[in-house]
Amino acid sequence: MMPERVPFRLNFWMTACAIPVLMLLIGLGVWQLQRLEWKQALIAERLDRGAAAPLAITEVPDDGWKDFEYRRVTLRGRFLHDREMLILNKVRHGQTGFDLVTPMELADGGAVLIHRGWVPRAWPAGNLVQRRPQGIGTLTGVLRDGGKANAWVPENDPSTNKWFFADVAQMAKAAGIAGQRPYLVRVTPDRRERGYPKGPHASYKISNKHLEYAITWFGLAAALVMIYLAYHVRRR
């Protein structure tokens, strides 16, 4: 004989605890869906900027440059190789090396920091094919900020030329171009060029796991409801 089920019996204290927890879980799921919509719009905006025709760097205002971040720009000038800076502990294809940042003196006046790309650990010793263009040249790159270091990254030490992340203001001061353009230009790589540096990837992607997080919160809410019902519907 199949066991009979008794009518639903409400447990006041369990209900009092379950309702706010359920509301919290559903609220977190909805919040993650809102974050998903915001993140998708942000990614689309970056892709649109990256697909636009390059601007001359003189068209980018220093004060409102953030409105142009991820845009491609063209610039003309000469590298100040004697002031180059290496950002430590950068890995490419499993090999540890550096990100190379070199100031460029612009033909139109002023200067800007150029993120030229990745170089292996042997770069300072000079035991490899190094590309250090001389004289006036033209390049295309992507406007970027320096990024932010997380809690695990050491502080930069400009006095010993040790760099762990690209702090634009610090690096510009160390290079003798403080107070000028407050951004980096990440060089657009040319795969035909041999040697180092290897140009940085112009990635427009950012972490977007909000859908997975939303599913997790809604899944926990559903599990809570099932446990609540199973507890209250008892067998004789």
User: What would the pLDDT profile of 161-206 be if each residue is shown by its tens digit?
Assistant: 889 999 999 999 999 998 888 899 998 876 666 778 887 766 666 7
- pLDDT value for 101: 93
Measured in degrees and rounded to the nearest 5, phi and psi for residue 118 equal -105, 140
CB atoms within 10 A of CB 71: 21
Question: Distance between CA 64 and CA 42 in Å, rounded?
Answer: 18
In our burial notation (b when 16+ CB lie closer than 10 A, e otherwise), range 35-52 reads: bbeebeeeeeebeebeee
Q: For the chain, give every domain's residue range.
A: 16-44+209-232, 71-187
Q: Is 219 helix (H, G, I), strand (E, B) or coil?
A: helix
- pLDDT value for 228: 87
Question: Distance between CA 217 and CA 65 in Å, rounded?
Answer: 38
In what helix (H) or strand (E) does residue 101 lie, and over which residues does it extend?
strand 95-106
User: What would the pLDDT profile of 118-171 be if each residue is shown by its tens digit?
Assistant: 888 877 766 666 678 888 999 999 998 887 777 888 889 988 888 999 999 999
DSSP string, 4-70: PBPPP---HHHHHHHHHHHHHHHHHHHHHHHHHHHHHHHHHHHHHHHHSPPEEGGGS-STTGGGGTT
> Nearest CA to 141 among 191, 200, 98?
200
At 236, the pLDDT band (50, 70, 90 cuts) reads very low
Measured in degrees and rounded to the nearest 5, phi and psi for residue 141 equal -155, -175
